[in-house]
Chains A and B, each alone.
Chain A
Amino acid sequence: MTAEPSLTMAAAIDIGSNSIKMTIGRANEEGGVDQLEWASEVVRLGQGLDRTGNLDEERIEAAIETLARFAAQARERGVMCIVAVATEATRAAANGAMFLERVRDQTGIDVRVVDGQAEANLTFHGLAADTDLTGSVLVADIGGGSTELIAARDGVIQAVQSLPLGSGRLTERFIVADPPFPEELVSCEKEADAVIQGARPPGLLAAMATRLIVVGGTGEFMARLITADEHINQDVVRVMLGKLATLSASELADEIDIPEARARVLPAGVAIVAAIATRLNPERIEISRSGIRAGLLLQALRGEGVTTDNGSEPGAGSAEEQSPKNGSSPTGRQGSPELSFRATMSALIAERWQTVLAAIPVALAGTDIEGVHDVRVASRRLRAAMDTAVPAFPGKWYTPLHRIAKEITGALGEVRDRDVLLEALNEDRSAAPMAEHPGIDRLIDRVERERVAAREEMEHYLRQLLDGPLQGEVQRRFGATETPTGAAGTRAECTP
């Protein structure tokens, strides 16, 4: 029976090199997402890609069949919004665009290709929702065709690296035997180490992270190989590799209840974990079920748009109104000198808008005069960023929010100036002789009257702003997020 259509539910689909996975989630009252249902199919879309440069026709058919089934399942559950992203295999394949066109025609799902950066941002965004990311961490999302490494400190991404290193890829290159020979697993680990070492910028692992968090399928299935309370360290990973060299794919599939095709590539995934752990030497290795779909769901249920590989924002109005190229907002990465000015400013502006919007309710409450001051200061900082970034964005696209930023500073100025005046006058009065009080009181009365009028105007203006489309426009243009970790620039758009 088909459930009632729900606007608070979404399905996130991730088309990877090994598997296509779907998670159905519902927005909860805390602003998070409750995951309700999962589906996974090992399609091996990336099979043969390294050799031919193309997605195999048979794999394409299998993928489309799976996506059609997932879409039907989601709609039956009452989902009105399906967000789907494709990662390494599709972005690397020469016929990737053709594949997506066929998916759209045959299933109605509008799939976005996300680059490694966006993939990492989404993954981190999802992880941050339910994991304490205090301190220095390295997140490893090991897929079939690529591995995303994210170095973060106190919940803020410091650097991201997408490596052409995946469990499917390594399996194809190095593993023939079933169970795999130990030497084959050693080759996988060596290759993984060489890719990590040779990557640019070359030292993501030198971020001195004390925790390694493994997410995605490899992490999830590794967890099934150990007891729930087992502390994972490098020795445990080594023992795990040893065990994997003794189990055939079908035995492993039975033991941890996964499809045999997925079991076949898991040893190579664990070899990648071993290589990373050896280089990083973390105090702890953790595993999380979270991944790119958790991030997608969070964003889909907040109604944000997608930024694709080239940074354009599909369906966002006229060409001039669309997000500029490279306009992604890698929040938390603006410290990187290598980033373009446009990307950095976009991230800064997103953050500063969020600060302004978060401070407005306090100013409106009127219980603390610092509330007005805080919004004013935040709006000035926002203006400083927006003034500076003018040359980086198309005028028509940029000007409306730039103008509002200026207006906010102005709207609060009249109130703030009088707050400061009243503070000074009252302080002076408290030290002045009684005979001077009538004159000072006269002045205080005047300023207080002016303040009441200014405050009325300010409140009217701010309420209008909050009730209007401002917050949505900020999200649409700069991908501002509410979390400090952010995944701005990797926004998700629903396929109804």
Chain B
Amino acid sequence: MSRAWPVNDVDPDAPVIDNARRVLAVRIAEFYSFQPIVSHPELSEALHDMRISAKRLRYTLELFRSQFGKAGERQIERVKAIQELLGALHDHDVRIDLIGEELSQLMVEQSRKTRSDIADASPNELAAIAAAALRPPPDDPRRGLIALLGREHAGRRAAYAQFRELWDTYSGDGMRRDLVELSVTPLANRAGAAARISPT
């Protein structure tokens, strides 16, 4: 898992909004550092790291949501949507790995059993053992695991396509620009920022 980029210029005694913007700027830069891998669905690990980075960005926006106001809420929705699709992609990757492991394990067990059966068999039993090994019975667990693996791969492709479509849509809508604006625009100039008690 990739580590969070450090935020070096936090001033604990400065108003929270100033620091919120500094933290947000770093989280935006960190998140967009993954942009080059967006078009590479095969890079499972990097896409997972991108998801973690999206999560950090979202949590930062949520952490300071009263400072970022309505504009921040819109960005939270966007980042959350991206993070969730990357999460679905990751879930498929986890299950694909798990099924693959189980399938390998099963094959090792079956192969070991076949070898043991053969070792103990009389010559006239060998043909039957070979036939059973080559034509598995209807309740052979491999059948379910292989079918499941197929569905997971199909699900992953669909999840990636959804993610890609959303990424392109948000990019076209200026998501990055909006995020950056949030990290630099003075609070007073932004509509819908944290409610402040107005003068009488």
Question: Which residues of chain B from 168 to 200 have a CB within 8 Å of any chain A CB?
Answer: 187, 193-200
B11–A341 CB distance below 8 A = yes
B145–A335 CB distance below 8 A = no
* The stretch of B12-20, B30-38, B40-48, B117-125 that contacts the partner chain: B12-20
Minimum CB distance partner of B27 in chain A: A388
B97-141 CB mask vs A (1 if < 8 Å, else 0) is 011001000100000000000000000000000000000001111
Query: A442 with B102: in contact, given A206-B199, A340-B13, A385-B63 (CB under 8 Å)?
Result: yes
Minimum CB distance partner of B145 in chain A: A439
Contact pick for B197, options A206, A424, A440, CB 8 Å: A206
Contact pick for A203, options B67, B144, B197, CB 8 Å: B197
A70 to B24, CA, bound (A): 53
A420 to B55, CA, bound (A): 18
B66–A446 CB distance below 8 A = no
Minimum CB distance partner of A342 in chain B: B12
Question: Which residues of chain B from 134 to 165 have a CB within 8 Å of any chain A CB?
Answer: 138-148, 151
Q: Does B29 contact A (CB under 8 A)?
A: no
Q: Name the interface size band of chain B.
A: 35 or more
On chain A, the residues within 8 Å of B193 by CB distance are: 337
Closest chain B CB from A419 CB (angstroms) = 12
A388–B63 CB distance below 8 A = yes
Among B17, B63, B98, the most chain A Cβ lie within 10 Å of the Cβ of B63
Question: Which residues of chain A from 427 to 444 have a CB within 8 Å of any chain B CB?
Answer: 428, 432, 435-443
A321 to B32, CA, bound (A): 38
On chain B, the residues within 8 Å of A342 by CB distance are: 12-13
Q: Does A173 contact B (CB under 8 A)?
A: no
A392–B10 CB distance below 8 A = yes
Q: Does B51 contact A (CB under 8 A)?
A: no
Q: Does A117 contact B (CB under 8 A)?
A: no
Minimum CB distance partner of A325 in chain B: B13
A32 to B138, CA, bound (A): 66
A197–B200 CB distance below 8 A = yes
A440–B148 CB distance below 8 A = yes
On chain A, the residues within 8 Å of B199 by CB distance are: 201-203, 206
Among A206, A326, A348, A388, the most chain B Cβ lie within 10 Å of the Cβ of A388
Minimum CB distance partner of B18 in chain A: A341
Q: Does A381 contact B (CB under 8 A)?
A: yes
A204 to B20, CA, bound (A): 25
Q: Does A334 contact B (CB under 8 A)?
A: yes
Minimum CB distance partner of A326 in chain B: B13
On chain B, the residues within 8 Å of A442 by CB distance are: 102, 106, 141, 144-145
Closest chain B CB from A172 CB (angstroms) = 27
On chain B, the residues within 8 Å of A201 by CB distance are: 196-197, 199
A331-371 CB mask vs B (1 if < 8 Å, else 0) is 00011111111111100100000000000000000000000
On chain B, the residues within 8 Å of A428 by CB distance are: 148, 151
B15–A340 CB distance below 8 A = yes
Q: Does A387 contact B (CB under 8 A)?
A: yes
Contact pick for A206, options B16, B95, B198, CB 8 Å: B198
Closest chain A CB from B58 CB (angstroms) = 9
Tell me what chain B mostly uses at the interface: helix, strand, loop, or mixed: helix
On chain A, the residues within 8 Å of B91 by CB distance are: 420, 424
Contact pick for A424, options B62, B95, B147, CB 8 Å: B95
On chain B, the residues within 8 Å of A339 by CB distance are: 15-16
Closest chain B CB from A346 CB (angstroms) = 10
B197–A207 CB distance below 8 A = yes
On chain A, the residues within 8 Å of B63 by CB distance are: 348, 384-385, 388
On chain B, the residues within 8 Å of A432 by CB distance are: 144, 147-148
Query: A435 with B145: in contact, given A206-B200, A341-B15 (CB under 8 Å)?
Result: no
A443 to B102, CA, bound (A): 7
A337 to B59, CA, bound (A): 18
Closest chain B CB from A257 CB (angstroms) = 38
A443 to B98, CA, bound (A): 8
On chain A, the residues within 8 Å of B195 by CB distance are: 158, 335
A205–B200 CB distance below 8 A = yes
On chain B, the residues within 8 Å of A197 by CB distance are: 200
A45 to B106, CA, bound (A): 85
A–B pairs, 29, beta carbons within 8 Å:
A151-B197, A204-B197, A205-B200, A207-B197, A335-B194, A336-B196, A337-B15, A340-B16, A341-B15, A341-B16, A342-B13, A344-B16, A384-B63, A387-B4, A388-B23, A420-B91, A421-B94, A424-B95, A435-B138, A436-B144, A437-B144, A438-B139, A438-B140, A438-B143, A440-B144, A443-B99, A443-B145, A446-B102, A447-B98
Since A336-B196, A380-B59, A438-B143 are in contact, a sample of 14 more A-B pairs with Cβ atoms closer than 8 Å, ordered by chain A residue number, is: A201-B197, A202-B200, A203-B197, A203-B200, A336-B16, A337-B17, A337-B187, A339-B16, A341-B16, A385-B63, A388-B60, A436-B147, A438-B139, A438-B141
A residues in contact (CB < 8 Å) with B: 151, 158-159, 197, 201-207, 279, 324, 326, 334-345, 348, 380-381, 384-385, 387-388, 391-393, 417, 420-421, 424-425, 428, 432, 435-443, 446-447
